[in-house]
C-alpha cells in the first residue's frame, strides 16, 4: 500500500458508513486539498458499489475539513446493470463538510475512442518545464511534497510578477512516491494545479465551492498532463476547467469547478 493509498483508505463500518482519517500531508496552508478529500470519499463509494469506477462526481464543499478522523456516509440512490448512483457525505463531529453525488460504472480499459479531440493547449517537453520553489517549512504547504508538478513556464510567471493576464495553468503531474495513476489519483490531479486566476493576477487562497469531474478512461502508467483554464472572472467568482491526459495521449479526466477569488 502506498502512502497515498493509506491516506485515502476508507474502512467499512457497515453498508452505509466508512471511517477515514484525513491526512495533514495534503494540507495547503491549513485547509485540506479538495481533490484529496474527494479521493477518500470515492474509496468508500466504490467499495459499496457493484461497479468498479467513479465515472462522475459532483461535490459541494460546505466547510473546510481538518485533518483527523472523519466518516463517509452513503445513500444508495439507484443501482443498475451499467451504473449506480450514490449520495455521499463527509462528516466530522456530526457536521457535513462535503456533499457529493457519484455515478459509478465499470470501464473497459481496452476500449478505443470512437472520436476524440486533442488537448486544448500544447505542452513543451518535460525537460523544458520548471518546478515551483520549495515552500517554507512553517507555511504548512504539505500538499506540494506529495507530488511532482513540472510547469509550462509562462503559466507560473506570477511567481516573478509577470502573470500572463489569462486564467491558465499547465503542468506534468505524478505522485512523489512511485505509483501508477488510477481513478483516485485522477481525483487528486484535477484539483492539483495552483488556481488558474494566479496567471490573471489574483493571489491568495481561492476556496472551491463546487467541483464536478468525469473519469473518461483508465490511465496508462507514467506522467499525467494537466491543462487548466478559465472562462470568466467576475464579482468575486471564477471558473476553472482541467483536462487530464495520460502518457498514451488519451483524455482520462475532465473537471470544472467554481470558486471564490483569492483571500489574503
CA gap 188, 176 in Å, rounded: 13
**Neighbouring C-beta atoms of residue 116, cutoff 10 Å:** 11
More confident residue, 205 or 239: 239
More confident residue, 205 or 78: 78
At 112 the pLDDT is 87
- Give the three cell numbers for residue 212: 464536478
Residue with cell 486566476: 197
CA gap 153, 170 in Å, rounded: 9
CB 116 within 8 A of CB 251: yes
Q: Which of 11-15, 48-52, 106-110, 220-224 has the lowest mean pLDDT?
A: 106-110
pLDDT tens-digit series, residues 218-261? 999 999 999 999 999 999 999 999 999 999 999 999 999 999 99
Phi then psi dihedrals of residue 126, to 5 deg:
-55, -40
User: What mean pLDDT is reported for the chain?
Assistant: 95
pLDDT grade, residue 198 (50/70/90)?
very high
> What's the predicted TM-score (pTM) here?
0.96
CA end-to-end distance (rounded Å), the chain:
37
CB 236 within 8 A of CB 261: yes
Instruction: Kindly state the average pLDDT of the residues 14-23.
Output: 98
At 59 the pLDDT is 98
What share of the chain has pLDDT > 90, as a percent? 86
pLDDT tens-digit series, residues 185-195? 999 999 999 99
CA distances from 202 to 13, 61, 145, 211 (A): 43, 21, 24, 20
CA gap 153, 173 in Å, rounded: 14
CA distances from 258 to 61, 70, 78, 157, 240 (A): 11, 25, 27, 23, 6
Within 8 A by CB and 6+ apart from 19, the residues are 10, 11, 13, 69, 70, 71
Per-residue pLDDT at 38 exceeds 90:
yes
Amino acid at each position: 500500500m502506498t502512502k497515498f493509498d493509506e491516506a485515502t483508505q476508507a474502512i467499512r463500518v457497515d453498508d452505509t458508513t466508512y471511517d477515514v482519517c484525513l491526512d495533514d500531508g495534503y494540507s495547503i496552508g491549513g485547509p485540506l486539498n479538495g481533490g484529496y478529500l474527494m479521493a477518500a470519499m470515492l474509496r468508500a463509494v466504490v467499495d459499496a458499489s457493484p461497479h468498479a469506477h467513479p465515472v462522475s462526481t459532483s461535490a459541494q464543499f460546505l466547510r473546510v475539513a481538518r485533518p483527523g478522523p472523519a466518516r463517509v456516509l452513503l445513500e444508495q440512490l439507484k443501482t443498475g446493470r451499467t451504473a449506480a448512483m450514490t449520495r455521499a457525505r463527509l462528516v466530522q463531529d456530526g457536521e457535513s463538510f462535503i456533499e457529493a453525488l457519484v455515478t459509478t460504472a465499470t470501464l473497459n480499459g481496452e476500449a478505443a475512442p470512437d472520436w476524440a479531440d486533442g488537448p486544448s493547449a500544447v505542452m513543451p517537453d518535460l525537460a523544458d518545464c520548471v518546478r515551483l520553489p520549495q515552500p517554507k517549512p512553517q507555511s504548512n504547504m504539505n500538499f506540494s511534497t506529495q507530488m511532482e508538478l513540472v510547469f509550462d513556464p509562462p503559466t507560473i510567471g506570477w511567481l516573478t510578477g509577470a502573470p500572463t493576464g489569462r486564467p491558465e495553468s499547465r503542468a506534468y503531474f505524478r505522485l512523489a512516491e512511485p505509483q501508477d495513476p488510477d481513478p483516485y489519483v485522477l481525483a487528486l490531479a484535477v484539483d492539483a494545479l495552483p488556481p488558474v486566476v494566479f496567471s490573471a493576477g489574483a493571489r491568495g487562497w481561492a476556496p472551491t465551492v463546487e467541483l464536478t469531474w468525469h473519469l473518461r478512461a483508465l490511465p496508462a502508467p507514467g506522467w499525467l498532463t494537466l491543462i487548466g483554464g478559465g472562462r470568466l472572472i467576475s464579482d468575486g467568482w471564477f471558473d476553472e476547467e482541467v483536462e487530464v491526459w495520460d502518457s498514451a495521449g488519451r483524455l482520462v479526466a475532465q473537471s470544472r469547478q467554481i470558486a471564490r477569488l483569492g483571500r489574503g
